[in-house]
Amino acid sequence: MRKWGSQISVALVCAILGFMLTYQFKLLHKQETINVNPYNSADITAEIEQYKKEKDNLNNKVNELEGKVKNYEEAAAGRDDATKNLLKELEDTRILTGTTDVQGEGVIIYLTPNSTIFGGGNEAKITDKHLIYLINELKYAGAEAISINDIRVTGRTGIRISGNSISINGEDRVSPSKRIVIKAIGYKKNLEATLSFPETLADFKGICDVKYETSDNIKIDRYNKPYKFEYAKPVKSQ
Q: Does residue 55 sit within a domain?
A: no
C-alpha angle 215-219-112 in degrees, rounded to nearest 5: 65
Q: Is the domain of 175 the same as that of 203? A: yes
Q: Are the C-beta atoms of 204 and 127 separated by less than 8 Å? A: no
236: in domain: no
In a shared domain, residues 128 and 170: yes
Is 168 contained in some domain? yes
Q: Which stretch of DSSP H or E encloses residue 23? A: helix 2-36
> Could you list the residue range(s) of the whole structural domain that residue 80 is in?
63-97
Number of domains the chain is built from: 2
Cβ-Cβ contacts under 8 Å for 213 (sequence gap 6 or more): 107, 108
Q: What is the CATH number of the domain that holds 124?
A: 3.30.70.1880
Q: Do 82 and 108 lie in a common domain?
A: no
Residues linked to residue 162 through DSSP beta bridges, in sequence order: 165
- pTM, entire model: 0.66
User: Per residue of the chain (238 residues), what is the pLDDT tens digit?
Assistant: 444 444 555 455 455 555 555 555 555 555 545 454 555 666 777 777 776 776 666 666 656 656 656 665 666 566 666 677 777 777 777 777 878 899 999 999 999 998 754 444 556 789 999 999 999 999 999 999 999 999 999 988 999 998 889 999 887 889 998 999 999 999 999 999 999 998 999 999 889 999 999 999 999 999 887 777 888 888 887 6
Beta-carbon neighbour count of residue 49 at 10 Å? 10
Do residues 88 and 129 both lie within one domain?
no
The β-bridge relationship of strands 172-174 and 180-185 is unpaired
Q: Are residues 109 and 150 in the same domain?
A: yes
Task: Give a yes or no: residue 53 inside a domain.
Answer: no
